[in-house]
Copies of this chain bind each other. A is one copy, B any other.
């Protein structure tokens, strides 16, 4: 779990300034559980304006502090990111997000390379379901 000061310091080292608004947005992001919308952050901050929230979120994306999560309905949300991953298992019950093993993706890419004439350069990969905890909590909703 990254800390506010660590992130701010990392940004400073990259040449970005340490401002009150930025710290406020980052703190709001760090307080989130699972995935969240930018609007959740906008509502949580007091001083920082909407434009600054959007700008800071883009900054955090570029520096891999957060990454985008695609929801089932096509909406884009965000989450604190682990390094190098952007394939998710999203719990539709609690909003929790789990990383997917990279090796599963790698194998898929190999297979596509063999079966098609495409040179694959990028992908979106998101799975939706109910996590172990939620399945235990409400077993009656078990998927068929």
Contact = CB atoms under 8 A, between A and B. Distances in A.
Contact of A92 (B72, B112, B121, B126): B121
B135 A128 contact: no
A129 B125 contact: no
Tallying the copies of this chain within the complex gives: 2
Contacts of A143: 119-121
B112 A100 contact: yes
A98 interface: yes
Contacts of A126: 123-125
A117 interface: yes
A14 interface: no
B108 A135 contact: no
A48 interface: no
Interface residues of A, number: 36
Contacts of A45: none
Contact of A129 (B76, B92, B108, B118): B118
Nearest to A71: B124
A89 interface: yes
A2 B129 CA distance: 34
A142 interface: yes
Nearest to A74: B76
